[in-house]
């Protein structure tokens, strides 16, 4: 595969201008994800109401693959129920780490499909997804 397929235009533009980037004034759940090996470092902030993700933001620093993946994820998970989100996370994770299934029915997220062929970069794509899973389970303490 040509490396240009890894750095597709959609990925480059999400890296340049990430969606839902920053720390919101209020949120109900959050988590921090850090990969000390490469320095990728992200925070996910969620507002969960009635088991629905009403709002999702992320902030942090990392490579283009990690940032684009986080940006695409926030776009696709907004206004979805927790159970839907959990099954999408599982689908993404299984595809990336176990080569099971595909990302075709996940909309724009499918631009990340090519990452799977670069074992050294899979963690870049999955860090924000792991952090998302953790955020759902971590309400803000009073």
For other proteins, the binding residue among 10, 52, 63, 82 (CB under 8 A) is 63
The residue within the footprint of other proteins, chosen from 6, 10, 52, 82 (CB under 8 A), is 6
Q: Which one of 23, 32, 51, 61 is in contact with other proteins (CB under 8 A)?
A: 61
**Of 9, 113, 6, 116, nearest in space to 65 by CA:** 6
Q: Residue 78 in contact with residue 55, Cβ under 8 Å? A: yes
Half-sphere exposure of 115 (CA within 13 A, CB side): 30
65 binds other proteins (CB under 8 A): yes
Q: Which of 17, 25, 26, 36 binds other proteins (CB under 8 A)?
A: 36
Single residue of 19, 113, 118, 138 touching other proteins by CB under 8 A: 118
Measured CA to CA in angstroms, residue 105 lies from 2, 92, 93, 108, 129 at distances of 24, 11, 14, 9, 17
Does position 25 bind other proteins by CB under 8 A?
Answer: no
Q: How far is the CB of 7 from other proteins (least distance, A)?
A: 6
- Integer Cα distance of 106 and 26 in angstroms: 28
DSSP state of 140: P
Residue 7 vs 90, nearer CB to other proteins: 7
User: Interface with other proteins by CB under 8 A: which residues?
Assistant: 2-4, 6-7, 12, 15, 36-41, 61-65, 118, 120-121, 124
């Amino acid at each position: 595969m040509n490396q240009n397929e890894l750095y597709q235009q959609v990925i480059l533009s999400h890296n340049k201008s990430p969606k839902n980037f920053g720390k919101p004034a209020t949120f109900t759940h959050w988590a921090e994800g850090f990969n000390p090996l490469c320095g990728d470092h992200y925070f996910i902030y969620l507002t969960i109401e009635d088991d629905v993700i009403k709002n999702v933001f992320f902030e942090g620093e990392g490579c283009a693959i990690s940032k684009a993946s986080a940006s695409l994820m926030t776009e696709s998970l907004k206004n979805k129920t927790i159970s839907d989100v959990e099954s999408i996370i599982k689908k993404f994770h299984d595809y990336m780490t176990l080569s099971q299934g595909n990302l075709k029915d996940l909309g724009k997220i499918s631009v990340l499909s090519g990452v799977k062929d670069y074992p050294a970069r899979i963690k870049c794509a999955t860090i924000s997804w792991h952090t998302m899973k953790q955020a759902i389970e971590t309400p803000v303490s009073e």
